[in-house]
Amino acid sequence: MPVFYGVEVASPLMLGTAQYPSPAILAEAFRASKAGIATVSLRREQGGGQDFWSLVQGLGARILPNTAGCHTVKEAVTTAHMARELFDTNWIKLEVIGHTDTLQPDVFGLVEAARILTGDGFQVFPYCTEDLTVCGRLLDAGCQVLMPWGAPIGSGLGINNAYGLRSLRAHFADVPLVVDAGIGLPSHAAQAMEMGFDAVLLNTAVAHAGDPAAMARAMALAVEAGRAAHEADPMEPRDMAAPSTPVIGKAFLS
């Protein structure tokens, strides 16, 4: 199971809590997913009030507050401090959005905010790109986890840059890595885990499914299958065919 900041979580599936049709469907989806971590936006919690907070506490998952929707360093840092007071945790998923249409992180602001928050005692989970230099700067800033995107948030496009993510996994072999955003299908989640990532974080693919609980269950199975496949040391792809039936002992007709 993945370990983040010295804490082992129950599952490599991390699930968001936004946009579900109802609180009851949210709870049902989480039960089906057996997710180890639930991400919660401070803005979402304020909208739902005490009833929503009580629901989240009953999900059986560790809470990871999120600075979703923040576009400046000051806004993200302030939101993180408010979240720590509200949720009583030093964990924070740090988002500093730089582009409105793609929701791509502002990597310059992200590194600055990460440095400030780690200095304030936070354990930061930065939502970032797969850029090796940016990720190195985030580690230098004190982050011990990296959360590169698979594709833009809510797009469901899956793994857009497999080469970049594989390079990141190889370069930071000992750092916990989570593919965050863009996962739309169980096959996308399985692919991320097959590549050796420690976990996947998704929300929209489950919340917007016709049957969120069924999709949550499918994602849980996909993550489990992907992790098992990675641990099995899969074969490397070949350019040419290789016979599966041995030639030795084959009968030859004259």
Annotated binding residues for 1-deoxy-D-xylulose 5-phosphate, as ranges? 154, 181-182, 203-204
d(CA 216, CA 202): 10
Beta bridge partners of 177: 146
Angle of CA points 162, 202, 134, to nearest 5°:
50
C-alpha closest to that of 39 among 198, 188, 207? 207
132-151 as b/e: b if 16+ CB within 10 A = eebbebbbebebbbbbbbbb
In the numeric block, the tokens 């502002």 are attached to 106
Is residue 250 annotated as part of the catalytic site, yes or no? no
Closest C-alpha to 153, from 110, 119, 183: 183
Residue type (1 letter), 93? K
Q: Which of these is catalytic: 34, 74, 93, 250?
A: 93
CA 21 to CA 121: how far, in whole Å?
36
Name which of 36, 32, 10, 2 is nearest 20 in CA terms: 32
Catalytic residue numbers read: 93
